[in-house]
Amino acid sequence: MTQLASQEPLYSVYFAPRGYARMVQIGRDIAQRHLTAFDNLIGIIGEAGSGKSLLIRGMFPGLELTNDDNGVNVRPLPLLDIDDTGFYQAHTYHMDARFESAFTSLPQLAEAVLIALDKGKRVVIEHFDLIFPLLNFNAALLIGIGDEIIVSRPTVFGPEPADIAKTVFASIKYRRMAHTAEDLTEHALMSRNVGKYAHGDVRRGFFLRFDRAISLDIPQLLLEVQDMIAQNLPITYKDQDHIYIGSILHRCTGPRMHVNSTGKVENFRFLNELQYDALNEAYLLVGLVGDNNSGLSRDLNQIFVG
């Protein structure tokens, strides 16, 4: 009788954080929990600005990205010129299929991927859904980034990249809305003596964690944030640490993860009171966007069964 080896879950879901440090950290966590030494094809799917490159930096520290966000692009693409005769040669290669398709045809890129895999190399591909139809086989580890991060280990029964893409492309708007609302809340808190706080994530929302009980008029704070939303102020990128909210310069560690104007934040609200986190002895201010739920804190991370 054949004994089946134990396997990790085929499908795992994580909150998709918005700050630089949090995204890199979760990339490291995903690598530790899911990546094996035998995973030579890694597929990443998500819209521009969703944090794909940051996740890859966390998963593969030191990997040279060929589509660096600072505009330093590696040319020619190392994957197109793999030479096994050299002693010092990379084991892991990166490719952004959408970016590279402006310089090289997708069939040529697919051929280069197949050659690299045949030589025992590892290839990490952003926008994997674009090149998958030309490879005829799935990634060993397939990751989608939208409102949540989906980590899957596909089998012959799926999921296929198009399935992951459909899910994350539809949900990314909630992450953009939540982050924008988070920054608007942070701006409104600047005039209040609330001290230091940390940031965190809940489903279609965010929380700010205070290490002590604070006096905060939540209804008044909500009115101020909703007023900024009603003004439909433009949200624009300044640099990797700042955005503009209208003409207001605001520090932000995830400046590309926003809607383009405050008016696109839908149905913003706070939970009516600070939530006490007994496990961490902290108090949470929770903000939510999008569809209504029951309004109960216990329902924020509810698992929906179809």
**What CATH code is carried by the domain that includes residue 34?**
3.40.50
Task: Verify that 135 and 20 share a domain, yes or no.
Answer: yes
Q: Is residue 2 part of a domain?
A: no
| pLDDT score, position 302 | 47
CATH of the domain at 225: 3.30.980.10
Number of domains in the chain: 2
204, 170, 238, 221: CA torsion to nearest 10: -30
The pair of structure tokens assigned to 257 is: 């993860």
Q: Is residue 1 part of a domain?
A: no
Contact 50, 147 (CB under 8 A): no
Q: Please, what's the b/e burial string for 52-87 (b: 16 or more CB within 10 A of its CB; e: otherwise)?
A: bbbbbbbbbeebebbbeeeeeeeeebbbbebeeeee
Task: Verify that 188 and 50 share a domain, yes or no.
Answer: no
Q: Is residue 304 part of a domain?
A: no
Contact 234, 246 (CB under 8 A): yes
| pLDDT score, position 203 | 87
Regions of the chain with pLDDT less than 70: 1-9, 68-75, 83-88, 292-306
Q: How far is CA 214 from CA 180, 274, 276, 285, in A?
A: 23, 9, 11, 10
Of 159, 194, 219, at which residue does a domain stop?
Answer: 159
d(CA 256, CA 253): 9
Longest dimension (CA), the chain: 70
Q: Is residue 95 part of a domain?
A: yes
| pLDDT score, position 68 | 61
Note down the domain range covering 234: 173-299
Contact 273, 266 (CB under 8 A): no
Task: Verify that 220 and 126 share a domain, yes or no.
Answer: no
Task: Name, in order, each residue with C-beta under 8 angstroms of 222's C-beta and a sequence gap of 6 or more.
Answer: 268, 269, 270
Task: Verify that 196 and 271 share a domain, yes or no.
Answer: yes
| pLDDT score, position 157 | 84
Residues present in the chain in total = 306
| pLDDT score, position 82 | 78
d(CA 148, CA 48): 15
| pLDDT score, position 84 | 56
Task: Verify that 182 and 98 share a domain, yes or no.
Answer: no
| pLDDT score, position 16 | 87
| pLDDT score, position 296 | 47
Q: Is residue 78 part of a domain?
A: yes
Task: Verify that 181 and 108 share a domain, yes or no.
Answer: no
d(CA 252, CA 55): 18
- CA atoms within 13 Å, Cβ hemisphere of 277: 15
Task: Verify that 74 and 46 share a domain, yes or no.
Answer: yes
Please tell me the chain's helix, strand, coil percentages from 3-state DSSP, rounded to the nearest 5: 35, 25, 45
Of 159, 191, 224, at which residue does a domain stop?
Answer: 159
Task: Verify that 98 and 35 share a domain, yes or no.
Answer: yes
Of 99, 125, 159, at which residue does a domain stop?
Answer: 159
| pLDDT score, position 11 | 82
Bridge-based pairing state of the strands 92-96 and 122-126: parallel
Determine the angle formed by the axes of helices 161-189 and 218-230, rounding to 10 degrees. 110
Task: Verify that 249 and 132 share a domain, yes or no.
Answer: no
Q: Is residue 145 part of a domain?
A: yes
Q: Is residue 168 part of a domain?
A: no
Helix (H, G, I), strand (E, B) or coil at 240: coil
Task: Verify that 152 and 23 share a domain, yes or no.
Answer: yes
| pLDDT score, position 206 | 93
H/E stretch holding 45 = strand 41-46
